[in-house]
């Protein structure tokens, strides 16, 4: 059973990601460590004692669709009610509308725990939180007053409706249309697919944020607008009115996260005799909906990264527990009688330590990204701009690397379990199934890598990433001069990894400056893993400097896994030509 690693989470937030010095400097007002610790402890208790026990029920039962209504697994609706009664949905919401206004760092730390306990549960509120941010930044005051308070509290949930059968990652191909009524509303027509929690029984209203085109809209992404489309209309007194012309026509039968309803949504089909056209309200300006939606998508990308961290944490806990119980063979280090617990075997130890190290690296990167978001929100002038750039740089790492880690660690967890990992009894397979979606949705990890190389390496005139690398190098220098026993070759290996990163970074920056985009994109995915591993090595070292009990894991990573950066650098610099040549054979005439 999952137990929230509250101590590790608190340590990473404070000592690695930057929360402790920010609190000491008063960056977040009167927020102090005592309140942070209390929030984390209670979130950990709720995740471990309330959410985790319902995971297996959710995975086995799944969500059920009947007569356009979705029923979630037994106990899940009641769990959600206890969750919002605890104030968890409002944790980082705007105070003006009933939120607690706490830093994003605390929100994503809690999000890790919800997703570790049951990813299919944690994913639902993620979209609501994103909808809150999009409406708070872009909606009219009238829409804010009508919808935000109940979205912030969690009494209503929100969704994000982008994808269509012919338009996945390429939103320029969207066909859903919005026709002006003349009274400030629009009638929405179209089909959306893969809509998470598009229909459910958690709340009595669902607020859909929908991308669609106006009749005279320009082609491509420049002609997309964003609309608020409620499941039920809301009267002026806040009570619910008639049903809108939107419904769920189907649920996907998925590899994992079975309890999360993934819906096909139909807009404007005359549902239950309604006049055709789902009524919606414009958010932001006409034809500028994508900019509004990106507010929600960037929030969701970090949240999805936390899903990767979360599944990795649970898989690691499960594998360590199993390795200490399962007995097989002899081990020289084992002095007991009979067969040794498999945790005594070197290969099993290597797998478990790899799982722990990758999980901690992904957690550190994601929390550092959340810290940058928080600092950008409260910062002004050059300081605010610097933190905004840092958040922009780290977002694709937090999303892509962390979700890759989720799959990798869950797979290693199956391996540690051996044959028992390949069957459903132990739960290791379920985690692997759940993890596999995260590298795909909210922008595939390949798209995150392209975004990193094409857009984020040029931030600050191309110097911001080198400033970040300089900060990482300072950690390596601190290890070297610390004279603390136990680090082994950490400083030297970290120096080599950061030199690999610096060389690969300058190579890609030159390619993009010279207009050789195809060659740069060929190296994007290995580059994203390279910068993540190098940064992760520095974050582990930073943790070791703050707590000597963490040095052994830091050294293991530095001397066993960090050398991968050299091969990744070679792929970035030398791989483009062979990739292009071999790729031609894959293209049908």
- Catalytic residue numbers read 442
- For 423, counting Cβ atoms within 10 Å of its Cβ (0-12 exposed, 13-18 middle, 19+ buried), the class is exposed
Q: How far is 101 from 266, CA to CA, in rounded Å?
A: 35
Write out the two tokens for 182.
């003349």
In contact, 94 and 132? CB cutoff 8 Å: yes
Three-state secondary structure call for residue 369: helix
Q: Tokens 């994508």 — which residue?
A: 290
Q: How far is 12 from 546, CA to CA, in rounded Å?
A: 10
Return the number of other C-beta atoms located less than 10 Å from residue 192's C-beta. Answer: 27
Q: How far is 85 from 79, CA to CA, in rounded Å?
A: 10
Q: How far is 128 from 207, CA to CA, in rounded Å?
A: 9
Q: What is the largest CA-CA distance in the chain?
A: 82
- 484 phi and psi angles, rounded to 5 deg: -85, 130
Write out the two tokens for 282.
């414009």
Three-state secondary structure call for residue 98: coil
- Where b means 16+ CB within 10 Å and e means fewer, 141-180 reads eebbebbbbbbbbbbbbbbbbbbbeebeeebeebebbbee
Nearest to 291 by CA among 335, 226, 202: 226
- Given 3-state DSSP classes, what are the helix, strand and coil percentages for the chain, each rounded to the nearest 5? 60, 10, 25
Write out the two tokens for 583.
């790729």
Write out the two tokens for 435.
């993890």
């Amino acid at each position: 059973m999952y137990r929230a690693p509250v101590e590790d989470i608190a340590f990473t937030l404070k000592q690695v990601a930057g929360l402790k010095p920010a609190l000491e400097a008063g960056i977040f007002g009167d927020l102090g460590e005592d309140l942070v610790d209390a929030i984390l402890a209670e979130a950990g208790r709720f995740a471990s004692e309330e959410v985790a026990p319902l995971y297996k029920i959710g995975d086995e039962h799944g969500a059920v669709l009947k007569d356009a209504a979705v029923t979630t697994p037994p106990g899940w609706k009641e769990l959600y009610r206890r969750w919002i009664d605890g104030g968890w949905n409002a944790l980082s919401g705007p105070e003006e509308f009933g939120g607690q206004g706490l830093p994003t760092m605390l929100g994503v730390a809690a999000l890790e725990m919800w997703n570790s306990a049951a990813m299919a549960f944690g994913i639902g509120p993620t979209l609501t939180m994103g909808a809150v941010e999009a409406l708070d930044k872009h909606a009219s005051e009238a829409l804010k007053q009508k919808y935000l308070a109940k979205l912030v509290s969690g009494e209503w949930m929100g969704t994000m409706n982008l994808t269509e059968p012919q338009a996945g990652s390429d939103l320029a191909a969207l066909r859903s249309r919005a026709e002006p009524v003349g009274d400030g509303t629009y009638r929405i027509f179209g089909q959306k697919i893969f809509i998470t929690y598009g229909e459910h029984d958690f709340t009595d209203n669902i607020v859909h944020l929908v991308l669609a085109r106006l009749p005279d809209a320009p082609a491509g992404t420049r002609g997309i607008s964003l609309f608020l489309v409620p499941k039920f209309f809301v009267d002026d007194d806040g009570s619910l009115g008639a049903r809108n012309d939107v419904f769920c026509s189907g649920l996907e039968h998925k590899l994992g996260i079975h309890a999360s309803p993934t819906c096909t949504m139909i807009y404007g089909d005359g549902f239950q005799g309604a006049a055709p056209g789902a009524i919606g309200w414009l958010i932001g300006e006409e034809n500028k909906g994508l900019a509004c939606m990106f507010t929600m998508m960037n929030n969701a990308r970090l949240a999805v990264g936390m899903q990767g961290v979360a599944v990795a944490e649970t898989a690691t806990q499960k594998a360590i527990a199993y390795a200490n119980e399962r007995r097989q063979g002899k081990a020289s280090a084992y002095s007991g009688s009979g067969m040794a617990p498999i945790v005594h075997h070197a290969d099993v130890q290597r797998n478990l330590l790899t799982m722990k190290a990758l999980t901690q690296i992904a957690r550190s990167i994601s929390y550092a990204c959340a810290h940058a978001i928080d600092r950008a929100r409260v910062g002004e002038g050059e300081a605010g701009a610097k933190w905004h750039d840092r958040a922009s740089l780290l977002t694709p790492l937090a999303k892509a690397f962390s979700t890759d880690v989720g799959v990798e660690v869950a797979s290693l967890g199956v391996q540690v379990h051996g044959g028992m990992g390949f069957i459903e009894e132990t739960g290791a397979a379920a985690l692997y199934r759940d993890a596999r979606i995260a590298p795909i949705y909210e922008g595939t990890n390949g798209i995150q890598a392209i975004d990193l190389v094409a857009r984020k390496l040029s931030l600050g005139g191309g110097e911001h990433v080198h400033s970040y690398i300089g900060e990482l190098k300072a950690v390596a220098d601190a290890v070297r001069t610390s004279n603390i026993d136990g680090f082994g070759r950490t400083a030297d290996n970290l120096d080599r990894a950061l030199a690999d990163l610096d060389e690969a970074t300058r190579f890609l920056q030159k390619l993009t400056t010279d207009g050789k985009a195809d060659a740069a994109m060929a190296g994007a995915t290995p580059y994203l893993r390279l910068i993540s591993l190098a940064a992760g090595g520095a974050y582990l070292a930073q943790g070791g400097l703050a707590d000597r009990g963490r040095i052994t894991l830091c050294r293991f990573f530095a001397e066993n896994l960090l050398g991968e950066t050299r091969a990744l650098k070679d792929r970035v610099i030398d791989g483009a030509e062979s990739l292009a040549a071999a790729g031609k054979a894959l293209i049908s005439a």
